[in-house]
Chain A
Amino acid sequence: MTRQMTGAKIVVEALIEQGVDTVFGYPGGAVLPIYDEIFQQNHIRHILVRHEQGAVHAAEGYARATGKPGVVLVTSGPGATNAVTGLVDALMDSIPIVVLTGQVPTFMIGSDAFQEADTVGITRPCTKMNWLVKDTDHLSSTIHEAFHIATKGRPGPVLIDIPKDVQFATGTYVEKSRAKVDHYTPRVKGDTAVITALVEAMEQAERPIFYTGGGVINSGPAASMMLRELVETTNFPITSTLMGLGAYPASGEKWLGMLGMHGLYEANLAMHGCDLMINIGARFDDRITGRINAFSPNSLKAHVDIDPSSINKVIHADFPIIGDVSHVLEDMLRIWKSRGSKTNSAALKKWWRQIEEWRAVKCLSYKNSTKTIKPQFALERLEALTKGMDRYITTEVGQHQMWAAQYLGFEDPNRWMTSGGLGTMGYGTPASIGVQVAHRDALVINVAGEASWLMNMQEMGTAVQYRLPVKQFILNNERLGMVRQWQELLHGERYSHSWSEALPNFVKLAEAFGCKGIMCDNPDDLDEAIKEMLAYDGPVIFDCLVEKHENCFPMIPSGKAHNEMLLGEAETQGVIDAKGSVLV
């Protein structure tokens, strides 16, 4: 039996059939029919954000905390253009989100109508796929296809542009099971022959390392479980990208910490010195590799990725394995067991001894102070006081983000949401809201810098409206810390526009929003202040005044190799040469 209904109703029906429980959005002229349908139902909860960028980041946070696609509904023109940053953010970090945008009626498209923008044109390179639906009969099948494409293969953002007359017109609803999606079926099983060859290499490896990334998280909790089993079975050391934190527990003894530009000394040196690198769901990002021609020069490299274009894009893979991480890990474990594989334990022992020497450098040690709060200290205390709690962390972008990755420990996947690829300042506050919407009773903390935080602070209104007790933990150094650090290292300490002047009084700002504000500037008071934040049943803006000129170490300077990393203040003079300074 075919069901006839308006396009607006089709949208809501299709979302319900897709199992959507939450939509982040902002109404406007071109989506009023859909909002009218949302008003008349109780299956989908709509979260009214304060800015469309916030809607997309909230949906990203929701998606990463749940493993389900996040859904956004915004209007045409400015509604759509405001969503663009979030789309690119989700594209770079492979986050499944479905964005529905209103559009002017089909007969007005191209006439420079009020709030008209070429949304599919603007977002074509910002999405995994996008559609302009001109016929109500195609609407439901397009929505089902959109969910399929957003979540299958390498996940990513998709966008459906829906003209207002298509929302008003009546059309046929096509059920999910009857929508055509089989034209997009990415390969999930890896090549068994290559996996077997890799297992052989793992048996012989003298200095192996697992280098894992966001692909493990995206592959689902089973992938993390199998990764843990594989690490325990092989006794190989493991490091991870920023995006992959939590797939292997930070408390695990094989854990070397994060790698990359601000990664740990032991992780980067192990990457540099290994003879077998097993990349699982990471993409050899430039923050990871440093100088390409000096990247891990003496190793064979395996690369497991669901996206064939990631393989051999930057670094040549000796064992290229195209497939979904959980499928590949399953095969790897099966082959390992069926072969009765054993590792080269004598060589591994030596390798671990070497790693212990690197660990002994204690690269995260810093000079603490009794007068000012060091940002590292603040995060150490936050970690200590929230350990074992049902905790989710989001971040903004900059020094605080790197410190959070270094000093906070993640025991499980989907607990860490940060803007990795695009590096979007303003990500963290709306993302924390998205996470809290998904996990009402969990502790959700946005570790922020004051400059990033100001970029989407309007979303505190959303937090207050929906009683979302998100904690905004702002490491306030009154500087654009990472910019300042680069200017110090690269631009002769000329601090061009990298300080935050005319900052608001965050406590009063919190009160103005109707939430709680806490200020702390004394290391002795910090624990009590953090406890007060954690105890408060509602959103909190925590203004943590920290040391203003702290730099983030370790650091691999631009254009340098992993074994040329800097550990502290003494080594920073003239470290970045002219070649390195053109890099970002």
Chain B
Amino acid sequence: MSPLNIEKGSSSHSAYDLRSHMSDAIETHTLAVLVQNEAGVLARVIGLFSGRGYNIESLTVAEVDHAGHRSRITIVTSGTPQVINQIKMQLERMVPVHEVHDLTVEGAMVSRELALFKVKGKGEHRVEALRIAEIFRANVVDSTLESFVFEITGTPEKIDAFADLMRPLGLLEVARTGVAAIARGA
């Protein structure tokens, strides 16, 4: 995966497609991909990204319709408008892919990530960690005399910010789910 050299949230939310087809500007897009839940489908999608040199910033996958054998893959990716368009087209032509939605251009969306933080500390650090967790509405899901595990939900930016604050307070480990996203309204 090539390194990212873009600012988060730099993508356009305009209702009009004013982007030049030949623009070199890198955009970040969140794609929701509904796939047939069958063996190898995730490998197929990931293989497309690695094989054609596309970026994956975040990827989550889980079955969302057991009876209908549907899984939903949420991919945050980045590239020029032309590359983003190619990514969507290449995903759409895959046989087990049913739908591809570019949530970034299809209107407002909600995107959330869940993370677990293990923080080790004593005394003031421990109190401070709890206080900040409260501000961020993180829950304590495990506690020992010298550690906490916090569960936090929010945008990737919020989780980044929480991580920055926890680091000096004894942050040991982070587990993040990656972004799940859905369009607002119905």
Contact = CB atoms under 8 A, between A and B. Distances in A.
A120 B43 CA distance: 11
Interface in B115-142: none
A308 B85 CA distance: 10
Interface in B24-60: 36, 39-40, 43-44, 47-48, 51
B86 to A, nearest CB: 6
A149 B95 contact: yes
Interface stretch (A5-13, A123-131, A340-348): A123-131
Given A129-B95, A132-B39, A312 B21 contact: yes
B19 interface: no
A308 B95 contact: no
A360 to B, nearest CB: 37
A312 B80 CA distance: 13
A28 B82 CA distance: 46
Contacts of B186: none
Given A125-B47, A309-B90, A316 B21 contact: yes
Interface in A291-313: 307-309, 311-313
B95 A184 contact: yes
Contacts of B86: 309, 312-313
B2 to A, nearest CB: 18
Nearest to B48: A125
Contacts of B96: 129
A121 interface: yes
Interface in B96-128: 96, 98
B89 interface: yes
Contacts of B89: 308-309, 311, 313
A183 interface: yes
Contacts of B93: 153-154, 307-309
Contacts of A183: 36, 95, 98
Nearest to B96: A129
A308 B39 contact: no
B151 interface: no
Contacts of A153: 93
Given A309-B89, A312-B82, A124 B47 contact: yes
B22 interface: yes
A330 to B, nearest CB: 24
Contact of A312 (B47, B51, B85): B85
A308 B92 contact: yes
Contact of B95 (A121, A125, A128, A132): A128
B47 to A, nearest CB: 5
A120 B96 CA distance: 15
Interface in A117-173: 120-121, 124-125, 128-129, 132, 149, 153-154
Given A307-B93, A308-B89, A125 B51 contact: yes
Nearest to B39: A132
A309 B85 CA distance: 8
A124 B49 CA distance: 13
Nearest to A308: B89
A245 B51 CA distance: 30
B80 to A, nearest CB: 12
A119 to B, nearest CB: 11
B92 A309 contact: yes
Contacts of A308: 89, 92-93
A202 to B, nearest CB: 23
Nearest to B86: A313
A124 B40 CA distance: 9
Contacts of B36: 183
A287 to B, nearest CB: 19
Nearest to B89: A309
A21 to B, nearest CB: 26
Given A121-B43, A309-B90, A316 B22 contact: yes
Contacts of B51: 125
Contacts of A129: 95-96
Contacts of B44: 124
A120 B40 contact: yes
Contacts of B43: 121, 124
A274 B21 CA distance: 22
Contacts of A184: 95
Nearest to A130: B40
A327 B51 CA distance: 32
B81 to A, nearest CB: 10
A61 to B, nearest CB: 25
Contacts of B82: 312
A121 B46 CA distance: 12
Interface string B66-92: 000000000000000010011001101
Interface of A: 120-121, 124-125, 128-129, 132, 149, 153-154, 183-184, 307-309, 311-313, 316
Given A124-B43, A125-B48, 13 more contacts: A121-B40, A121-B43, A124-B40, A125-B47, A183-B36, A184-B95, A309-B86, A309-B90, A312-B82, A312-B85, A313-B86, A313-B89, A316-B21
Give the 5 A-B residue pairs with the shortest CB-CB distance, closest first: A309-B89, A129-B95, A309-B90, A308-B89, A316-B21
12 contacts: A120-B40, A124-B40, A124-B43, A125-B47, A125-B48, A132-B39, A154-B93, A307-B93, A308-B92, A311-B89, A312-B86, A313-B89
